[in-house]
Amino acid sequence: MRLSRYFLPVLKETPAEAQIVSHRLMLRAGMIKQSSAGIYSWLPLGYKVLRNIEQIVHEEQQRAGHVPVLMPTLQSADLWRESGRYEDYGEEMLRIQDRHGRDMLYGPTNEEMITDIFRSYVNSYKDLPLTLYQIQWKFRDERRPRFGVMRGREFLMKDGYNFDLTKEDAMHAYNRHLVSYLRTYERMGLQAIPMRADSGPIGGDDTHEFLVLAETGESEVFYDSQITDLKFGDREIDYDSVEQCQAVLEEFTSRYARTDETHDEAVFNEVPEERRRSARGIEVGQIFYFGTKYSEAMGATVINDKQEQIPVHMGSHGIGVSRLLGAIIEASHDDKGIIWPEGVTPFHCGIVNLKQGDEEADAACDSLYQQLTNAGLDPLYDDRKERAGAKFATMDLIGLPWRITVGPRGLKNGVVELTCRKTGESEEMAPEAAVAKVVEIYKSL
Ligand SMILES: Nc1ncnc2c1ncn2[C@@H]1O[C@H](COP(=O)(O)OP(=O)(O)OP(=O)(O)O)[C@@H](O)[C@H]1O
Ligand SMILES: [Mg+2]
């Protein structure tokens, strides 16, 4: 993409309404525009990152064997009357009537709808296990939408639902989700810690929230500092293996890590004092086993091998796809702007032409652009007739991890400059070497 042909409405001023850095930077970098409280348009740069995050979520869900579907945002109230949640859900649910006076709602979540799909087609234990998921917009009429996409009213969520014959099978699905979430967040350059959370009125311990530590997080968390040393890394895992998934769960959940809802001072005090931490965190996902709550209420049953009709065991598992943009920026920025992790960056590499209109500089930039594109990368070439300082400021603000700077003086010596956004370090090298290095970095992801 050439910047002169792109739509990147960066703001010079810091918007007054934004209280936290990720919100400020998303507005300043021209990623989102608020259309009404908690509802945003995704401008090209923001949309690109959103799609990259979605892509990682899709890949990791499918790696775990989960099957993508897409359900509508508008749902019939009757389904929710079956589960009893139409009355219970309260003011967060946006209720709508169509022209015939039928009660509809904009889905805040999809347990009812997916259970209805399941019961319409699946009758036998032989069709289990099954996990269906989607990435779809949700609406929750939050009391206090704030912090930009962190707490929106309309937001994008990956929501997945497992259907299993027994509680043990459903717990395997739970563990599988935990493992796949660890991989998902790490690919985005994030450390998200599974923490024991409150299961609400349903009871039981079988729910974990994934939290990214950040001062601006809305959740209060307590943990054993050893937990931040754990890394999933690039280990191979067989998602069908009950033992392997269980072992990962134990590794990542055996140390103390809880949100304030389940925090227990007495248990926490058993952790050696120098390892006790209290901090704030951003909830970027949650996994949940809830048994037969919906399958019983809505008649989602299968015939088992003894010809008995039994309700399936279910769980639901969410990732805050749009919230993740905010969480990543909270975790990765400096006073100049965003620093995108390579896994989600909107463009792989920026090209800055210090002297637009100079024949040699223009040709060198065009050639770099071609080489990067031919290697399957997506560069952003700042080809505007702007001062160098302004070009650097834009690149720093939008946070591309790598930048190649091209100017007549360097070209005389046969070099361009390759700069790492994170460390600020620059290195002079031949254009081909710069391309090779950038290509290599992305190949190793
Ligand atoms: N209003 C929102 N704006 C953006 N993302 C959200 C919002 N509410 C929930 N999410 C994201 O969707 C994920 C799954 O939804 P879930 O039902 O677990 O949310 P929740 O526990 O109600 O969230 P919260 O406690 O933050 O209100 C959450 O982990 C979070 O990352
Ligand atoms: Mg939650």
Domains of the chain and any CATH numbers: 3-337 (3.30.930.10), 347-443 (3.40.50.800)
**Spatial separation of the C-alpha atoms in residues 77 and 106, rounded to whole Å:** 10
Q: Is 360 helix (H, G, I), strand (E, B) or coil?
A: helix
119 backbone dihedrals φ, ψ, rounded to 5° = -65, -25
What's the CA-to-centroid distance between 285 and ligand 2, angstroms?
6
pLDDT band with cut points at 50, 70 and 90 for residue 198: confident
**Spatial separation of the C-alpha atoms in residues 28 and 31, rounded to whole Å:** 8
Contact between residue 114 and residue 70 where contact means Cβ atoms under 8 Å apart: no
- Residues 230-267: tens digit of each pLDDT: 999 999 999 999 999 999 999 999 999 999 999 999 99
Mutation to probe ligand 1, out of 42, 286, 290 (largest number of atoms < 8 A from CB) = 286
Contact between residue 301 and residue 311 where contact means Cβ atoms under 8 Å apart: yes
Residue found by looking up tokens 């709508």 in the block: 96
User: pLDDT at residue 202 above 60?
Assistant: no
CB of 208 sitting under 6 A from ligand 1: no
What's the CA-to-centroid distance between 166 and ligand 2, angstroms?
24
Q: Which residues pair with 403 in a beta bridge?
A: 350, 419
Query: What does pTM read for this prediction?
Result: 0.97
User: pLDDT at residue 204 above 90?
Assistant: no
Joined together, the tokens standing for residue 288 give 């949940």
What's the CA-to-centroid distance between 117 and ligand 2, angstroms?
24
For the chain, give the percent of residues with pLDDT over 90.
96
User: pLDDT at residue 280 above 70?
Assistant: yes
Residue nearest to atom 27 of ligand 1 (CA): 151
Joined together, the tokens standing for residue 404 give 């190649």
Mean pLDDT of 156-164: 98
Joined together, the tokens standing for residue 353 give 């032409």
pLDDT band with cut points at 50, 70 and 90 for residue 17: confident
Residue nearest to atom 1 of ligand 1 (CA): 151
- Residues 87-130: tens digit of each pLDDT: 999 999 999 999 999 999 999 999 999 999 999 999 999 999 99
* Ligand with an atom nearest the CA of residue 135: 1
Q: Please give the C-alpha separations between residue 366 and each of 189, 352, 384, 431, in angstroms, as whole numbers.
A: 31, 11, 13, 11
What's the CA-to-centroid distance between 323 and ligand 1, angstroms?
8
- What is the number of the ligand 1 atom nearest to the C-alpha of 109? 17
pLDDT band with cut points at 50, 70 and 90 for residue 14: confident
CA-closest candidate to residue 281, choices 341, 198, 194, 199: 194
> How is the chain split among helix, strand and coil, in percent rounded to 5?
40, 30, 35
CA-closest candidate to residue 70, choices 100, 33, 113, 27: 113
pLDDT band with cut points at 50, 70 and 90 for residue 297: very high
Residue nearest to atom 10 of ligand 1 (CA): 320
pLDDT band with cut points at 50, 70 and 90 for residue 180: very high
* Ligand with an atom nearest the CA of residue 219: 1
What's the CA-to-centroid distance between 116 and ligand 1, angstroms?
23
DSSP for 144-176 reads: S-BTGGGB-SEEEEEEEEEEESSHHHHHHHHHH
DSSP for residue 3: G
Mean pLDDT of 293-321: 97
